[in-house]
Amino acid sequence: MPFNSTSQEHSEGFVRLSLAAPFLRHLTDRDINPQPALDQVGLKAELLSDPSVYVHSELVYGLLNAFSDLSGDRYLGLNVGETFDLQEWPPFAQALQSTKTLFEFFTRFVGLVPQESNSVRHSLVIEADKATYRIKRQQEPTVPPIQVTGFGAAIYVRLLQTVVGDSWDASRVRWESRYINGLPIDYKGIEVGLGTDPGMQISFPVEWLFLRHVSEGSAKHITSPRRDQDVTVVAALRSVLRDKLDETDLGPEVVAGLLGIQPERFLKALQKQGTTLPREIKRLRVDVAKEHLIEDQMTIAEIGLLLGYSDKSHFTRFFRGQTGMTPTKFRNKQMC
């Protein structure tokens, strides 16, 4: 009896970049300069604190592996996962607040986790003698997710321990992944096995699902990050281009590079969504223009410059062509 998260409809492999923020903090807390690793993948540190920025999952895999090499810690993901505050993770906190048993927790959790990423699919599979929580990668990774797997092992073992409480028995738990070199073979006394899938899974006794979880009422109230749209290639390109609309070269190679994906895969993902890069750039320019026209006192010329139009009349023609009214008329209409 499987309980699945998202469908295969949106599976381009994009994730919220802020998921890498705990790794950045881990390094800086230990006085390790993360800049060489960030330079290696072409990212700025401040982007990791912005929950609205999405990139391709393999860019994150590469960054975290680079952090591991830089710190000299082969189990970096595991160590970060062991200190990560589960109560500050919206899917965990929200699932804990609204459920009483481990079964209810996982069926709630499996629907909340995809808010962070569309690169994996979560499912809970229940058999006669065991339950398995699976995290299946939607694509075969070309960059090995070693540190991500270590982080996942720490998180889901801790998560299970937290909810099961005194009934925890490590000898009855098995963790599987193709990338088990991200954790010691005897980690926490659980059985660690080599899987054939690039994802990961944790198995445990099925009777644990019907225990009342011991953390009921102890979770902090927490609100999910603003989620106005699905984690798709369109959301990802909008997140990285928002502050670059005044740049002259926004072709497929440049945008794909910002997202950490090959141009061919990027264009195929757009095609799958039924859109094109020029169309989405136009839409983004219009949306950003409307925000500034409504929310602040920038002049029409200043907004045009922000969007790459050095001439006010060119911006006015563009905006009218897309919306049917001039920027001035749009602004005045909002003030009525």
Topology of domain 233-335, CATH: Arc Repressor Mutant, subunit A (1.10.10)
pLDDT of 113: 77
pLDDT of 286: 93
Distance, in Å, from the CA atom of 269 to the CA atom of 14, rounded to the nearest integer, reads: 11
Residue 179 in contact with residue 146, Cβ under 8 Å?
A: yes
Q: What are phi and psi of 165, to 5 degrees?
A: 70, -130
**CATH number, domain 2-210, options 3.40.50.620, 3.30.720.200, 3.90.1520.10, 3.40.190.80:** 3.90.1520.10
Domain ranges of the chain: 2-210, 233-335
pLDDT of 118: 64
User: Could you give the C-alpha distances from 276 to 132, 246, 283, in angstroms and in order?
Assistant: 39, 19, 11
DSSP characters for 116-128?
GBSSEEEEEEE-S
Distance, in Å, from the CA atom of 26 to the CA atom of 7, rounded to the nearest integer, reads: 34
Residue 193 in contact with residue 175, Cβ under 8 Å?
A: yes
Consecutive 10-residue averages of pLDDT for the chain (336 residues)? 44 81 95 95 90 89 96 96 87 86 88 70 91 87 93 92 90 95 93 91 95 59 44 85 90 90 88 89 93 88 93 92 92 80
Distance, in Å, from the CA atom of 59 to the CA atom of 17, rounded to the nearest integer, reads: 9
216 alpha carbon, distance to own chain's centre: 27
Tokens found for residue 87: 């109560």
Q: What are phi and psi of 121, to 5 degrees?
A: -125, 125
Residue 54 in contact with residue 236, Cβ under 8 Å?
A: yes
User: Are both 2-210 and 233-335 of the same fold?
Assistant: no
